[in-house]
Amino acid sequence: MDSDRGVISLVGIGGAGKTATLEQFLARLLDDNDLDGILVWSFYDDPDTNAFLKTAVEYVTGELPSGASGTGWFHSLRQILDSGARYLFVLDGLERVQRAHTTSQGIYGELEDPLLRGLLRRLVSAGCQSKAIVTSRFPISDLDSWHGRGHEIIDIDHLDEPTALAVLGQRGVMGEPAALTALLRRFGRHALTVDLLGTATKLFFDGQADRLPTWNPPPGEDPNDPSVRLSIVLTLFHDRMAPETLDLMCRICVFRFGVTIESLGDVFLGEGPASGVLAGANRERLLEWLDWLRQTHLVHLELDGKYTVHPAVRDHFYRLFRDASSIHGAISEHLLSLSERPGVGLPTAKEALDLLEELIYHALRADREDDAVDIYLYRMGGHEHLNATLGEYARTYRILGSFPTFSDAGAMYSCLRAFGLIDEALTWRPRNRYLLIANGRLEELREDPSQNTRRAARFLLGESHQVPERLADFPLPAAHLHLLADDLVEAEISAQHEARVALFQDDVVRSQLALGEVARRKGDYDRARECFEEAGQWVLRSGSHEHLCLLFLYRGRLEADLGELPHARTTLLEAKQIATESSFHLIGVEIDAETSRVLLSSGEPELALAVAERAAAEALRIRFPWGEALACLRMVEAATATGDSAIAERSNERLQEIRRSLTDAKERGRPPSINLYRT
Q: How far apart are CA 324 and CA 407, in angstroms?
A: 25
3-class SS of residue 98: strand
Rounded to 10 degrees, what is the CA torsion of 656, 616, 455, 535?
Answer: -110
Write down which residue in 203, 238, 273 finishes a domain.
238
CA dihedral (261, 263, 264, 269) positive or negative = positive
Judge if 146 and 166 occupy the same domain.
no
Q: Is residue 305 part of a domain?
A: no
* 82 and 187 assigned to the same domain: no
Instruction: Tell me, yes or no, whether 180 and 148 share the same domain.
Output: no
Q: Which among 507, 446, 439 is positioned nearest to 473, based on CA atoms?
A: 507
600-605 long-range contacts, CB within 8 A, separation 24+: 600/634, 600/637, 600/638, 600/641, 601/560, 601/565, 602/565, 602/569, 605/638, 605/641, 605/642
CA-CA distance, 453 to 433, in Å (whole number)?
8
Percentage of residues in the chain having pLDDT higher than 70: 88
The distance between the two most distant Cα atoms of the chain, rounded to a whole number of Å, is 97
Residues 43 and 178 in one domain: no
- Residue 444 maps to a domain: yes
Residue 342 banded pLDDT, cuts 50, 70, 90? very low
Q: Quick one: how far is CA 673 from the chain centroid? A: 48
Q: How much is the average pLDDT of 608-616?
A: 97
Is the model's pLDDT at 73 over the cut of 70?
Answer: no
What CATH number is given to the structural domain containing 562?
1.25.40.10
Same domain? 621 vs 521: yes
Query: Is there a domain that residue 565 lies in?
Result: yes
The answer on pLDDT for 24 being more than 50 is yes
Q: End-to-end distance of the chain based on CA atoms, in angstroms?
A: 56
* Cα gap 569→643, rounded to integer Å: 24
243, part of any domain: no
Percentage of the chain lying above the pLDDT 90 cut: 42
Domain carrying residue 231? 161-238
User: Which of 351, 225, 243, 251 is closest to 309 using CA atoms?
Assistant: 251
Q: Identify whether 470 is part of a domain.
A: yes
529 domain residue, yes or no: yes
> What is the distance between the alpha carbons of residues 414 and 495, in angstroms, rounded to a whole number?
22
Are 84 and 223 in a shared domain? no
127 plus 199 within the same structural domain: no
Domain boundary among the residues 94, 125, 155 is at: 155
Three-state secondary structure readout of 179-241 = HHHHHHHHHCCCHHHHHHHHHHHHHHHCCEHHHCCCCCCCCCCCCCCHHHHHHHHHHHHHCCC
Residues 51 and 183 in one domain: no
Buried residues in 455-493 as b, exposed as e (16+ CB within 10 A): bbbbbbbbbbbebbebbbbbbbbbbbbbbbbebbeebbb
Predicted confidence (pLDDT) per residue in 218-228, tens digit: 777 887 888 88
Separation CA 381–CA 407 (nearest Å)? 15
pLDDT the model gives residue 290 = 92
Residue 179 lies inside a defined structural domain of this protein: yes
Beta bridge partners, 662, equal none
Lowest mean pLDDT among 77-81, 132-136, 523-527: 77-81
Q: What are phi and psi of 414, to 5 degrees?
A: -65, -40
| pLDDT average, residue stretch 27-48 | 78
Alpha helices, DSSP H only, in 254-349? 261-268, 283-295, 311-318, 325-339
pLDDT of 32 > 90? The answer is: no
Q: Do residues 177 and 56 share a domain? A: no
Kindly report the CATH number assigned to the domain that includes residue 149: 3.40.50.300
**Helix/strand/coil percentages in the chain, nearest 5:** 60, 5, 35
Q: In this model, does residue 17 exceed pLDDT 80? A: no
Same domain, 629 and 505: yes
Q: What is the pLDDT of residues 167-183, one digit of tens each?
A: 899 889 998 889 899 89
Number of domain units in the chain:
3
* Structure-model confidence comparison of residues 528 and 131, the more confident one: 528
Question: Which one has a higher pLDDT value, 612 or 159?
Answer: 612
Domain boundary among 238, 258, 291: 238
Q: Model confidence over 122-164: pLDDT tens digits?
A: 788 756 788 888 888 778 888 887 887 788 887 776 778 888 8
CB-based contacts of 180, cutoff 8 Å, min separation 6: 165, 168, 173, 209
Same domain, 492 and 583: yes
In a domain? residue 349? no
127 plus 181 within the same structural domain: no
Between 507 and 301, whose confidence is greater? 507
- Tell me the average pLDDT across 644-671: 84
Residues 484 and 626: their CA atoms lie apart, in Å, by 6
